[in-house]
Structure 1
Amino acid sequence: MFEERSLSPAVDAVRAEHAPETLVFDVDRDFETVPPAQAESLGLFVESLEPARYPSAWLPADAPHLLARYAGSDFTIGMPGDGSVVWTRQTSPPVLLVKARVQGAPESFIDFLLAEALVQVGLEVPEHFLGFFEDSYRDLDAAVPLDPNATYQIAAALYDGWVGLQTGPIFAGWDDDHPELAAAWHDAGSRLEGRLSGLPGAVARGETDFADATELACAAIKHASDHDYDNGHDQPLELPAPFAALQTGAYRDHGPAYAIRWAEKTFRALEDTDSSGS
């Protein structure tokens, strides 16, 4: 199921700089979550396996089944919303898994996804949003008046945005050192720009639901180019309200507490808008 992947010189250089011990494998099938039996076969390639486990008290009673399983004792790699490249530090050394779905995508874009994942491994950020929110995930659930799957999607998006606040400045420094990767980063950002500008209107017209809008906006955060997210310098992607409040140093510094406060204020404002329009 797993085959070691050859890396381009640029990606290998990023690995050496950020996560030198990390192993990278192609997976011969697509997946959201690798079945535990197959995941455990990674033991043939690594020194040890240590499945993550989280307290059940962190989860609301109606949490999606996959999230409850992830928090439990099963060796779980990959969750909905993880994208085409998945990484884990539940193995020693860490592992990146490249899903079969990337076949046919431009090699430059795949290289960027690999480099992005290696940077994330090097930052030692949590592997999943549950490790980011911890017991405050119940507070986020209380702040989001949507179904459990939509709450999951918003939590995953908010976590992705928080990570993007840390990786974006690193990507911005690649123009000189890794121009191929920088070009792919800029290209991916430019493809999002038009979709972002029309996002508030699409939500207001019911063409895009709020969870999808949050996912798109938070995915764009890593494409802000400036090293200081509070100084207003050149940022090729400016998020529309209410998502602009997430593109800040305050979110980077305060993490889950800021995200929950943002959700409380945002949904209260949406409810007030609905009430005044009815």
Structure 2
Amino acid sequence: MTRTPLDKRQVRRNFHRAADSYDQVAVLQREVGERLMERLHVILMQPAIIVDVGCGTGFCTRALQDHYRKARVIGLDHAPSMLRATRRRGRWLRPIRTLCGDAERLPLAAESVDMVFSNLALQWMPDLHRVFAEFQRVLRPGGLLMFSSFGPDTLKELRAAWAQVDDKPHVHEFIDMHDVGDALVQARFADPVMDMESFTLTYGDPMGVLHDLRGLGARNAASGRGRGLTTRRRLQAMCQAYEAAYRGPDGRIPASWEVVYGHAWASEGLPQRREGDTVSIRADHIPVRRR
């Protein structure tokens, strides 16, 4: 699973800045979230504590709260502005609890969660093995991990167009489904199930693709990215390469998204270890904050 390293602080800044625009452009994210929620209908469990990791603006957090009316649902994200948006989805009599934290070092006590849910967030986490180890640690034995992520064919057109301009990383390298499955096994999750689905969004021009990516907070966060502003000449060259290769007879250009779905169960009898002195709290002790 060799990828261009991500700058975690830049990922956080990108999503923090995108909270106000995210919902306007997150059409695919909502669709995938709804499909992920539908998969819970065949899961026979009634979790008491659910953590939505990488909750963004809280679309799935609210859906989880509506689906599991007796559960305590916590939205966790590393971008504070996203958590404020999530809290705004709560109701006065049933607010949404939020927690600011890093998925690679969850600020939660061991075996304090019944379900970890994550919709299209894992691809922004630099160390997937560490993330799954943390999910395994905080889940109670027999707890459920349910997630979606983006696969390597995501934004393949944009990646190919930029490759015609320079050799800098402009598009994130997404994780192959088989590598995700291997990481689950290495983290000792039980009975992992994986599958994949492809989506294509179409635009009038390549700038429409970039506009949506900026609105989502899905900006370039590769450690080896160019540090200066992209020049107009290079941007125009990328757009010309994109249109020359992909503009269809209907005048539209495609943007491909490969979505990986997975679920697995926390194993029993594993030692609960963690490094460092990070404070861990029980998920049922997180207080309510009103927006």
TM range (shorter): under 0.3
Structure with greater proportional helix content: 1
Normalization by structure 1: what TM-score? 0.26
Normalization by structure 2: what TM-score? 0.25
Structure with greater proportional strand content: 2
User: Highest relative contact order (Cα 8 Å, sep 6+), 1 or 2?
Assistant: 2
